[in-house]
Amino acid sequence: MTDKAKTLITLNSALLAILTIFFPKITGFNSWWATLLFLLGIICLINAIIITWAYFDVQKSMNILLDQGTVDLDTDDLKKSIINSYRQCYMDTNNRTNFLVSLYMTSRFFFLSGFLIILIAFLGSYFFKLASNDTEKIIRELRSDPKLIELLRGPKGDTGERGPQGEKGEKGENSKPASKQQ
């Protein structure tokens, strides 16, 4: 069980390290729900690490100690005392094991939930992102920026020399509206 807990804390730490690289990019999500899901997933992963640390904080189990008062008992009472001590150790070990298994299962639940929530946030943001709307929005912003338009046009130059007059073209047909021709 301890090896599983060590593996879980390693996976959780590695995933949190990877996600810290993407943390500045959470403003890149195109919707508020994806940002909230991402943050909820991070909270679940941090909770899983804290619970796994509690797993390793559990102290050792009970031991059988024979003191002078127990050793001085007659044979039957000594056997009963040792049997009771073994039963207490057995119960303590079972309770400790049950507690550690519960901690591991809870930590694993939060890890998997956090991972799934973050995965849903990334996939939802990727598939529901409307690229054409973003592109049109950027184009509108660029077209409405007067500094950019002035920069692209460049400075106004001097008026050049006037060229020769072109030839006069043929006379076109009279194209008056039908109501005025009568």
**DSSP assignment letter at 172:** P
The pair phi, psi for residue 158, each rounded to 5°, is -75, 150
Q: Which band of pLDDT confidence, cut at 50, 70 and 90, is reported for residue 89?
A: confident
Q: Report the candidate in 19, 31, 10 with the shortest Cα–Cα distance to residue 119.
A: 19
Q: Would you state the structure tokens that stand for residue 109, as one six-digit string?
A: 């639940």
Residue 109: per-residue pLDDT: 92
List the chain domain ranges.
Answer: 2-152
pLDDT digits (tens, 9 = 90+) for 127-141: 776 554 667 777 778
Across the range 113-117, mean pLDDT stands at 89
Nearest-Å Rg of the Cα atoms of the chain is: 39
Across the range 79-86, mean pLDDT stands at 81
Residue 61: per-residue pLDDT: 65
- Give 81's contacts (C-beta < 8 A, 6+ positions apart): 70, 73
